[in-house]
Homo-oligomer: A and B are copies of this chain.
Amino acid sequence: MLSKSGCPTTMLSIRDALEAVEGRWKLLILFSLSQGPKRFKQIAREVQGITDKTLSKELKSLEANKLIDRKVYDTFPPTVEYSVTSHGLSLEKVLDELHYWGLAHRKEVIGK
């Protein structure tokens, strides 16, 4: 891919992917939801250090990117649950590659 140098479509798609997972929180939220559907307060407890305001913003962004699903149950009071979509799960291969390369990178730069 590095040899199909600078192709605008390639760059665009890579930008899209980087944007979908950027920031400190999105991956942590996805990790938390990968264990199963959760309610707001449960996620807030598991993703340590996140404020309610930020969590709310990040959940909206993840939902807009169709990485997670928000479901409202007709209970009293209403229950809201978040879960990873199949599109969100498809990130797995990307995260794997990032993970392996990140490990090699750490070794290369920091020297083990």
A residues contacting B by CB (< 8 A) are 1-3, 5-6, 10-18, 20-22, 27-28, 30-32, 34-35, 46, 64-66, 84, 87-106, 108-109
Contact = CB atoms under 8 A, between A and B. Distances in A.
Nearest to A103: B13
Given A13-B98, A16-B105, A22-B22, 14 more contacts: A1-B99, A2-B84, A2-B95, A5-B34, A6-B32, A11-B27, A13-B102, A14-B98, A15-B102, A16-B106, A17-B99, A87-B105, A93-B97, A94-B101
B18 A22 contact: yes
Given A2-B31, A31-B6, A109-B66, A17 B101 contact: yes
B5 A32 contact: yes
A10 to B, nearest CB: 6
9 contacts: A3-B35, A13-B99, A13-B102, A14-B98, A14-B99, A22-B22, A64-B109, A91-B101, A97-B97
Candidate in A31, A64, A109 with the most chain B CB atoms within 10 angstroms: A31
